[in-house]
Amino acid sequence: MFVLASIIDITERKQAELDAARHRNEMAHLSRVSTLGELSGSIAHELNLPLSSILSNAQAAQRFLANGHTDLAEVRAILNDIVSEDKRAAEVIHRLRQWLKKDEVHQHPVQMNDVVDDVLKLMRSDLVNQKITVDTELAPHLPTVTGDPVQLQQVLLNLLVNACDAMANCHRSERRLLIRTGFENRNGSSAVIVSVTDRGGSIPEEKMEQIFEPFFTTKEKGMGLGLSICRTIMTAHQGKLWATNNFDCGATFHFSLPIGASDKEVVMTNNGIANASS
Ligand SMILES: Nc1ncnc2c1ncn2[C@@H]1O[C@H](COP(=O)(O)OP(=O)(O)O)[C@@H](O)[C@H]1O
Ligand SMILES: [Mg+2]
């Protein structure tokens, strides 16, 4: 009887965990959809560039043929340009589909330096429009972590969007962002750390934790959900997310991901019942 009760208890707990994970993934997906609205100018621009290049190349080829030129080498070069610009547009669409897909969360080996590159590609035109310079200090030979690459991109992207917001009123020369990746080994456990440093305003010390609560915002059109979703994603990855103020100006947001965390995620007890360990 006791055994049965504890199995039911464990089954219920497992079900509650699954429900919570589904809920968390839906929130994360919704927030990606809403971020897309903010990035839409950027995406349109990224697609317009290859499309207008394809158009002008095709028109050049038409003019060529209309004028009776038969320089095949030139036509071949034009066609090569068209093919590579088309591939570039397809890559933008591929990135978008990855961003919007609503799959189960996939645990993959993730190289955080690649996550940084992918997010910078997604945001490139926005950063140019806002005249923000991004410096990167990416550690070479960074170990991989285990996680969902799209959700990890989402965390970084939210931090970057916030950092850009924080610098909206800064002078152009001050609009600089620094993204760092590194590796830490403390008390026998190792982690990859990513940080985003801006030169905007600082965060009042008493608000350092409050900013991670849902619906906390100081922006007129803010939703106040970005950081709380980031924190949920980091917790699900057994990682951490926190903020500090810089000595001179602005704030730095840091997140850390344990190395080798996937081994601990689910263990089988010797009576065969799956159990989550932390
Ligand atoms: N880089 C930053 N510098 C200063 N304050 C920040 C920064 N990032 C976030 N904040 C503060 O945290 C609040 C919550 O952020 P977030 O959850 O992303 O929601 P939102 O961006 O919609 O306001 C912001 O409104 C702002 O007050
Ligand atoms: Mg935000």
**Domain range list for the chain:** 1-104, 109-264
Answer yes or no: are the C-beta atoms of 259 and 192 closer than 8 Å: yes
Atom nearest to 224 CA in ligand 1 = 19
Q: Which residues on neighbouring strands pair with residue 181, listed in sequence order?
A: 138, 194
Ligand 1, atom 18: nearest CA belongs to which residue? 226
**pLDDT for position 104:** 67
Which CATH number applies to 1-104?
1.10.287
Ligand 1, atom 11: nearest CA belongs to which residue? 211
Ligand 1, atom 24: nearest CA belongs to which residue? 217
* 135-152 confidence digits (pLDDT tens): 999 999 999 999 988 899
pLDDT-derived band at 278, boundaries 50, 70, 90: very low
Return the structure tokens found at 52: 């207008």
Q: For residue 169, is it left (φ>0), alpha (ψ between -120 and 50) or beta?
A: alpha
C-alpha 200/C-alpha 6 separation (Å) is 53
Q: Which ligand is nearest to the CA of 167?
A: 1
Atom nearest to 216 CA in ligand 1 = 14
Atom nearest to 221 CA in ligand 1 = 22
Answer yes or no: are the C-beta atoms of 32 and 39 closer than 8 Å: no
pLDDT-derived band at 275, boundaries 50, 70, 90: very low
Give the Å distance between the CA of 194 and the centre of ligand 1: 18
The reply to whether 109-264 shares the fold of 1-104 is: no
**pLDDT for position 253:** 98
* 60-95 confidence digits (pLDDT tens): 989 888 888 778 888 899 999 999 999 989 988 887
CATH topology of domain 109-264: Heat Shock Protein 90 (3.30.565)
Residue carrying the six token digits 């039911």: 8
Atom nearest to 202 CA in ligand 1 = 4
Q: Which residues form ligand 1's pocket by a CB distance below 6 Å?
A: 158, 162-163, 166, 198, 200-201, 203, 211, 216-219, 222-228, 251
Task: Give just the sign of the alpha carbon dihedral 178, 143, 277, 268.
Answer: positive
Mean of all residue pLDDT scores within the chain: 86
Average pLDDT over residues 271-278: 33
The closest alpha carbon to 148, from 112, 114, 108, 181, belongs to: 108
* 104-118 confidence digits (pLDDT tens): 677 889 999 999 999
Ligand 1, atom 1: nearest CA belongs to which residue? 163
Give the Å distance between the CA of 230 and the centre of ligand 2: 10
Between 171 and 31, the higher pLDDT residue: 171
Average pLDDT over residues 31-36: 81
User: Which residues have a beta carbon within 5 Å of ligand 2, which is an ion?
Assistant: 162, 226
| Substitution candidate for ligand 1 out of 157, 161, 209, 211 with most atoms within 8 A of CB | 211
* 190-248 confidence digits (pLDDT tens): 999 999 999 999 999 999 999 999 889 999 988 888 999 999 899 989 999 999 999 99
* 245-262 confidence digits (pLDDT tens): 999 999 999 999 999 754
